[in-house]
Amino acid sequence: MIGVFGGTFDPVHNGHLRVVQALVRTLPFDELRMLPCGEPAHRAPPQASAEDRVAMLRLAIAGMSSIVIDEREVQRNGPSYMVDTLTSMREELGDTPLVLIIGWDAFVGLPTWHRWPQILELAHLLVVQRPGTTTPPCREVEALLQQCQVDEVSALKTAPAGCILLHPVDALEVSSTNVRESIIAKEDVGDLLPVAVLAYIKEHNLYQ
């Protein structure tokens, strides 16, 4: 079973890392991939370059053996549509269960994604609860939950795609926006990021 945690990672922070570490510890993933987005389709472009965002991710996951970086979106031109990414992964993986990991805030926005009904044909969804995000699901998302929600992690291993699991994670209340704003305000962000990522940000004058 392969997990994919997509994000802008502008920059990666301890909230992201808390999620992936908790998931590899408690769920039977053979591999967990962090997938930096190249050109986000539904939001402003990232402030840091793809090269810098990947470099920070590399520093953040150094020593975490079951976590890897999948660079296909930053290497592709054009908007990073998740449906294209999952299609290319599915071609490589055959029938291996593929699990797209997203925060609740991203999940409630699913109907705005390009060709979104195809996402569950290609992967399962594992939705992690994020503190402070209580947006209720819209009608389409509610219907999807009624149709696809499962209660057991084991269900994800019985099919390549098609299930939704809501998974509580003891998440940290931090966002990349917080980090960027705090850096501009010259506040201490030492608790929000790994030391090596903060050193990289300072060295390359990012988010000033």
7 binds ligand ATP (CB under 6 A): yes
The half-sphere exposure of 171 on its side-chain side, counting CA atoms within 13 A, is: 21
Q: Is the peptide bond before 11 cis (omega within 30 degrees of 0)?
A: yes
Q: How far is the CB of 97 from ligand ATP (least distance, A)?
A: 19
Map residues 160-199 to x or -, x wherever contact with ligand ATP holds by CB under 6 A. Answer: -----------xx-xxxx----------------------
85 binds ligand ATP (CB under 6 A): no
105 binds ligand ATP (CB under 6 A): yes
Q: Find the farthest-apart pair of alpha carbons in the chain and give their distance in angstroms, rounded.
A: 49
How many other C-beta atoms are found inside a 10 Å radius of the C-beta of residue 83?
16
Residues 6+ apart with CB under 8 A from 184: 207, 208
User: In which residue are the tokens 């079951």 written?
Assistant: 66
- 101 - beta bridge partners? 5, 126
Binding region for ligand ATP (CB under 6 A) out of 14-22, 26-34, 64-72, 156-164: 14-22
122 binds ligand ATP (CB under 6 A): no
128 binds ligand ATP (CB under 6 A): yes
Phi, psi of 65 (to 5 degrees): -65, -30
Pick the binder of ligand ATP from 50, 99, 130, 183 (CB under 6 A): 130
Name the site residues for ligand ATP (rule: CB under 6 A): 7-10, 15-16, 19, 102-103, 105-106, 128, 130, 171-172, 174-177
